[in-house]
Structure 1
Amino acid sequence: MAALASAATREQPPEPRSDPRPERLRVLIGTDTYPPDVNGAAYFTARLARGLAARGHEVHVVCQSPDGPPHTARVDGVVEHRLRSMSSLVHETVRLALPPGAPGHLDRLIRRVRPHAVHVQNHFLVGRLLISAARRHRVPLVATNHFMPENLFNYLFVPEALRRPVGRVAWRDFRRALQGAEHVTTPTPTAAQLLLDQGFARPVEAVSCGIDLRRFHPPGDGAPRADLRERLGIPDRPTFAFVGRLDEEKRIVDLVRAVRRTTVDGAQLVLAGTGAQRGALERLAEEEGVADRVRFLGFVPHGDLPLVYRAADVFAIAGIAELQSIATLEAMASGLPVVAAEAMALPHLVEQGRNGYLYEPGSPDDLAKYLSAILASPEERSRMGAESRAMAARHDHERSLDRFERIYADVALRSSLRGG
């Protein structure tokens, strides 16, 4: 088992192959979250689908309708098959696809598209339906895991006392759902090892979610930070920022409590995103006496998101259930030092003293110490920011696209040799 774990979690560059591969792949991707949803898994899936389409492949995505009625549309070269949906009732931005009629629809879709591979991004409603359809039609199945039970506990109102047994049931269900996948990936070696630790007895490959280095980049010779802050409506002060959902598992209370503990005059926290915890965080800022130094930007349109990073001096992230963190990659690509909780996969992105610091989760004093050190030193910010950008280059999404192309072609080839 130790040898399996080592092999499964090791990131290796793909080797060139001489096997015949389809020049134009047909890929059917299934997901329960897709734009306009705002989360890392949705953004990754859209970037994957649109990136493959831009390379000339035929890409279809099955996902939930954002407003209820089913429909099909071509967006950025991708054919979106939106299933009828309803509100989840547990979160304002989460909608659930409705299973009635979906199996027959997926059967017809697979017969028409004849995909070389089906790629599911989760094992919930849409993912589970598509897994079953792929098995019925003997289409090779690729799966990417973005799941941890901790990311669902808040939405499902699971009491603290029940979270461990509920987590065990959730992992057992995960193992059962994906046991027949030909190839399983997840964003980081830590995330791959997590699956092995939870009893998933199959090799798991770490393939980064990737980042668009052309879209996310340092300010350079463009608008200075003061101008960028003015465009966002925030004061020109030493700034640390967080981009993401304002939900319980993100532990943003650490960030708010760190504000008054920083030793740099006027240091402010900028939060870009929406979520169930916003009201509680606003009250906490009042209690901490820093309401004037915690800025809530709310939802930031996708096109404006790079401005948030360029307007900041440091990026801070307190979550303890991150399997990679696309927001942290975006911040690094934007040339920001990072202070992150020393938890899950974040240490894969932050090297202590090189491009930032790792702090003890739940300790706003520890967080504030590192934020203060970076905010007080322009030289450190510049050096660490350059290191972040260099480290982010290893996660160029074009490399991730290269790898997924090879995975699809390989599983399709193996299927054809089996007579699938």
Structure 2
Amino acid sequence: MSIVFACMDADTLGGIQQVTHTLAQGLAVRGHDVHVIGLHRARTPFTYVDRPRYTKHLTSRAPMGAEGPLSRRLSDRHLRQVLGSLTPGFAILTSPGAVTRVASMLPRRLRPIGQYHGSYEHARGSWHLGSIRRHYPDLDQAVFLSEDDALLFSEHALLPNAWSLPNPLAEWPETPSPLTTPRILGVGRLEGVKRFDRLITAFARVATPPWELHLLGDGAEESRLRRHAEAEGVAGRVVFRGRIPATRMTEEYHDAAILALTSEHEGLPVVLLEAAAHGVPAVAFDVSGGVRSAGPELVPPGDVRKFASALSDLMSCPDERLRLGAAARTRAAAFRLNPVLDRWETLFAHMAR
């Protein structure tokens, strides 16, 4: 059967894209005819899979926000041609924007699944919740990242078709981190929503040498964050590493003792799952059911004082780091790729009945 993933932008560095390519490759390896459609060109393309077993399509060369009327008509024509060429199966629309753009163009033989990579808490503070309420009930299935989120959307968005499927881990490390390097990791785009300024402040309050904070990622906030680290008196121990290739992330986790996540909102961050798979304990703000399902040490959203205290507890107790890291690795096994692919195939079978 055909399985289609439609993304507003399929090749930017981001969680939706990473999960899409991981699932696409896994389902293709299992013998399905898988297609990934990007509705816009990525401004800075990122390669997730070196040898894809699935087919990629780009329906518009215009990046998001730069598509004129003529380009949109040509893009829609191309999209209809791609969809019309596929055999019966399922179309996974990976965001509210993809749902509103693609759902009406699907031939009847492709059954629509609306995916949402955010949390209910985030959706209700943006236009997403209204869009989900309007468009997702008409889809064959609506998929969310945790049981908590599926229940909340079912109750508050009146969805009769809510289902929960977590993000998968692309790889499973053979050995966990020894947790001996005095290093805290912050991983993600250097953008406002990630609130690395809060992480720097928490680190500055409790961390003493030789502890360092390494920020992995790039983005528009880097200059401001560098100034913030200097103002907090820790510029020499906050290391801006830039974008790290996926192939090197295992050694980054191996050289870390703690992962810290200070985002204002998240769905189910792959970085939490990756850290857990490497046996690295994490501290995170309690911002979603997806975050809770990954099992980090939870802190009330935005409470920098308590976040600093949680970091301090882990920095000062190697045995506790090892205990929590081992528990995290055990919990992360449920997010390995094959069990998650099994759950997707169970959903397809459920829909086909």
Counterpart of 2:58, as a letter, is R
Q: State the partner residue of 1:85.
A: 61
Distance 1:314 1:194 in 2: 31
Over the aligned positions, Cα root-mean-square deviation in angstroms equals 2.7
Over residues 182-241 of structure 1, what are the superposed CA-to-partner deviations in whole Å (9 max), with x where a residue is unaligned? 111111123223423542422311111121342485247xxx96xxxxxxxxxxx61111
Cα displacement (A) at 1:399 = 1.0
Distance 1:306 1:194 in 2: 35
Q: State the partner residue of 2:337.
A: 397
Q: State the partner residue of 1:348.
A: 293
Cα 1:116–1:41, aligned 2, differ >3 Å: closer, same or farther?
same
Task: Describe the SS at the equivalent of 1:77.
Answer: coil
Distance 2:65 2:114 in 1: 27
The answer to whether 1:308 aligns with 2:280 is: no
Distance 1:89 1:282 in 2: 30
Q: State the partner residue of 2:25.
A: 50
Cα contact 2:120–2:152 (8 A) shared by 1: no
Alignment of 1:234-383 (within 5 A): 238-345=182-289, 346-350=291-295, 357-383=297-323
Cα 1:40–1:67, aligned 2, differ >3 Å: closer, same or farther?
closer
Distance 2:65 2:298 in 1: 36
Distance 2:64 2:35 in 1: 24
Cα contact 2:284–2:299 (8 A) shared by 1: yes
Over residues 279-335 of structure 1, what are the superposed CA-to-partner deviations in whole Å (9 max), with x where a residue is unaligned? 211111011011111111111112112222111100111123112111101100011
Cα displacement (A) at 1:75 = 4.9
Cα displacement (A) at 1:264 = 4.3
* Structure 1 stretch displaced more, 310-319 or 108-117: 108-117
Q: State the partner residue of 1:174.
A: 132
Cα 1:338–1:79, aligned 2, differ >3 Å: closer, same or farther?
same
Distance 1:402 1:62 in 2: 23
Q: State the partner residue of 1:11.
A: none
Q: State the partner residue of 2:92.
A: 119
Match of 1:187 among 132, 145, 148: 145
Distance 2:151 2:120 in 1: 16
Counterpart of 1:209, as a letter, is N
Cα contact 2:59–2:76 (8 A) shared by 1: no
Cα contact 1:31–1:122 (8 A) shared by 2: yes
Q: State the partner residue of 1:104.
A: 77
Unaligned stretches of 5+ in structure 2? Answer: 45-49
Cα contact 2:199–2:262 (8 A) shared by 1: yes
Task: Describe the SS at the equivalent of 1:261.
Answer: helix
Cα contact 1:187–1:208 (8 A) shared by 2: yes
The total of aligned residue pairs comes to: 343
Task: Describe the SS at the equivalent of 1:31.
Answer: strand
Over residues 342-401 of structure 1, what are the superposed CA-to-partner deviations in whole Å (9 max), with x where a residue is unaligned? 222222222xxxxx5222332322112111111122211111111110010111121111
Cα 1:244–1:30, aligned 2, differ >3 Å: closer, same or farther?
same
Distance 1:170 1:212 in 2: 27
Task: Describe the SS at the equivalent of 2:284.
Answer: strand
Q: State the partner residue of 1:230.
A: none
Counterpart of 1:325, as a letter, is P
Q: State the partner residue of 2:157.
A: 199
Cα contact 1:175–1:200 (8 A) shared by 2: yes
Q: State the partner residue of 1:19.
A: none
Task: Describe the SS at the equivalent of 1:66.
Answer: coil
Distance 1:137 1:203 in 2: 18
Cα displacement (A) at 1:404 = 1.1
Unaligned stretches of 5+ in structure 1? Answer: 1-24, 69-73, 91-97, 153-162, 226-236, 351-355, 415-420
Q: State the partner residue of 1:3.
A: none
Distance 1:148 1:394 in 2: 20
Cα 1:320–1:105, aligned 2, differ >3 Å: closer, same or farther?
same
Distance 1:65 1:87 in 2: 5
Task: Describe the SS at the equivalent of 2:323.
Answer: helix
Over residues 97-156 of structure 1, what are the superposed CA-to-partner deviations in whole Å (9 max), with x where a residue is unaligned? x532233323322332123111111121x443321112x53531112111469879xxxx
Distance 2:80 2:9 in 1: 21
Distance 1:305 1:127 in 2: 32
Q: Which has the larger radius of gyration?
A: 1
Alignment of 1:7-26 (within 5 A): 25-26=1-2
Cα displacement (A) at 1:340 = 1.0
The answer to whether 1:132 aligns with 2:110 is: no
Q: State the partner residue of 2:347.
A: 407
Cα displacement (A) at 1:253 = 1.5
Distance 1:377 1:148 in 2: 32
Distance 2:194 2:158 in 1: 26
Distance 2:65 2:173 in 1: 35
Cα contact 1:150–1:249 (8 A) shared by 2: no
Distance 1:202 1:172 in 2: 16
Q: State the partner residue of 1:39.
A: 14
